[in-house]
Amino acid sequence: MNSDEYRQLELERMQRLDEALERAEAGRTNKDDWNIIRYECGAPKRPVVSLKTVSIGARNESHSG
């Protein structure tokens, strides 16, 4: 990769960040925008958290045998 190609990639990267920030300021960000902003800030991706429902107490288990 030569210096012109590298410079072009850097300009495109900065343009994506600028567009993501504009959408953030307007309250219209999407998941990709936040990923771009986090990456450029050096912050890790937001962890995905899921909840699992666990029943507590006696369970009615029948065993046929």
pLDDT tens-digit readout, 1-57: 899 999 999 999 999 999 999 999 999 999 999 999 999 999 987 777 788 888 887
Residue 41 in tokens: 């800030």
Handedness of CA 57, 60, 61, 65 (dihedral sign): positive
All residues at 6 or more sequence positions from 32 whose CB lies less than 8 Å from its CB, including other chains? 20
Locus of tokens 């990639």? 9
Q: Is residue 65 part of a domain?
A: no
More confident residue, 63 or 3: 3
Q: Is residue 63 part of a domain?
A: no
Q: Is residue 35 part of a domain?
A: yes
Q: Is residue 15 part of a domain?
A: yes
pLDDT value, residue 45: 77
State how far the Cα of 54 lies from the Cα of 10, in Å rounded to an integer: 48
Domain count, the chain: 1
Q: Is residue 17 part of a domain?
A: yes
Range of the structural domain that residue 19 is part of = 3-41
Contact of 46 with 53, CB cutoff 8 Å: no
Q: Is residue 58 part of a domain?
A: no
